[in-house]
Structure 1
Amino acid sequence: MSRARCERCHRPENHCLCGLIPQLDSRTRVLILQHPSEVNHALNTARLAALGLTNAQLVVGEVFEDLADLLEVPGYQPRLLFPGEEAQSLVSQGADERPILLVVPDGTWRKARKLLHLNPLLAALPRVKLDNAPGSRYRLRKAPGPDALSTLEAIVHALHTLEPQHSFDALLRPFDALIDGQIKAMGEETFRRNHS
């Protein structure tokens, strides 16, 4: 029999994170396109981001039939957060500029590339990348590189870059609690042996 889960954060009820999830406003709109393989992942950081931001939307799928509608948000200019040679560095936005609709694919690098391949409209968007990203707090994962961040961390860094006058650090509180809980569950010795 499976454990009872919180309807909102999808964590087991005795590990519910809802009390730590903020409700933050942002000028930037965030659209997270989540690969279905991520939905039941124990550390579903994209869900935490979508729950913590009032101007965010999480859509799960591989082929997004309604992508044109999702991207056409009046007053916003869509940008795909995905590295590549043609990606422009994100910079802070002036109040007179149209705010950004930040489109964030969520999945492993392989799955994220697949989302772009299956959705030509997504692949055609102007791309942006993160500069000077902080080290990942995701201590349970062997990162493919020093600048590899979880989806939530990438969104927080992007928002800090675009809107430096606001702090989005509160989004990281449930993430840190989640990581600490996982480490506690596996035991400090196991964690050190496998992740240090």
Structure 2
Amino acid sequence: MSRPHCPRCSRPLDHCLCALIPRLSSRTRVLILQHPSEVRHALNTARLAALGLNNAELRVGEVFEDLPALLAQPGYRACLLFPGEQAQPLPQFARQLDGLPALLIVPDGTWRKARKLLHCNPLLATLPRVTLVDGLESRYRLRKAPMPGALSTIEAVVSALGVLEAPAQFDALLKPFEALIEGQIEAMGVETFRRNHQRG
């Protein structure tokens, strides 16, 4: 018999994170496009990010038929948070906004699944691509990053908003993420974590 889950944060009721999820306002609109394979992921940080931001939306799928309408929201300048040859550093894009808020499109999935989202939704390729600043390190201590600067979705959103809305900070979004990691370390046992995950 499966454990009862919270309908909001999708965590088991005895590990519900809702009390830690803030409700933060931002000028930037965040649109997270989540590959269906991520929905049942133990972390699902995209869901936590969408719940913690008033001006955010999480859409799940591979093909988004209404993407033209989602991107055509008046008063925003859209950009795609994804690396590539044509990608520009986010601070550079922020300087070009001329007072307009950004519409930040964030694909959520493994690198392979995120690339599939771009392939299945060619309209995304028409957007200016942006990347986070160099030198960022993930707080997700349970998994080795596949490449330098690789962050979880919620960390990427927090970092991006910190640039787009400086000097405002959005670190409060990370509280449920950090509680989730602590819970996983506790479940595996601190000794097991130290042996297998801590950097020597």
State the TM-score bracket (shorter-chain normalisation): over 0.9
Structure 2: tracts of 5 or more residues without a match: none
Residue pair 1:133, 1:157 contacting (<8 A) in 2 also = no
Counterpart for residue 9 of structure 2:
9
Residue pair 1:160, 1:168 contacting (<8 A) in 2 also = yes
Counterpart for residue 85 of structure 2:
85
CA distance in 2, matches of 1:61, 1:116: 12
Amino acid in structure 1 at the alignment position of 2:42 = A
Residue pair 2:77, 2:97 contacting (<8 A) in 1 also = no
1:122-169 Cα distance to aligned partner (Å, 9 max, x none): 122110111135311001111112211000000000000111121101
Counterpart for residue 70 of structure 2:
70
- Structure 2 length normalisation: TM-score? 0.94
Counterpart for residue 33 of structure 1:
33
Residue pair 1:6, 1:12 contacting (<8 A) in 2 also = yes
Counterpart for residue 140 of structure 1:
142
- Structure 1 length normalisation: TM-score? 0.96
Residue pair 1:93, 1:99 contacting (<8 A) in 2 also = no
Equivalent positions of 1:1-196 (< 5 A) are 1-91=1-91, 92=94, 96-196=98-198
> CA 1:146–1:103 in 2, change beyond 3 Å: closer, same or farther?
same
SS in 2 for 1:184: helix
1:27-85 Cα distance to aligned partner (Å, 9 max, x none): 11000000000001010000000000000000000011111111111100110000111
Structure 1: tracts of 5 or more residues without a match: none
CA distance in 1, matches of 2:159, 2:168: 12
CA distance in 2, matches of 1:147, 1:173: 20
Give the alignment's Cα RMSD to 1 decimal: 1.3
SS in 2 for 1:4: coil
Give the percent of matched residue pairs that are identical in Structure 1 and Structure 2.
71
- For residue 96 of structure 1, report the CA deviation from its aligned partner: 4.5
Amino acid in structure 1 at the alignment position of 2:39 = V
CA distance in 2, matches of 1:105, 1:163: 20
Residue pair 1:79, 1:127 contacting (<8 A) in 2 also = yes
Residue pair 2:32, 2:105 contacting (<8 A) in 1 also = yes
SS in 2 for 1:146: coil
CA distance in 1, matches of 2:97, 2:76: 13
CA distance in 2, matches of 1:46, 1:134: 18
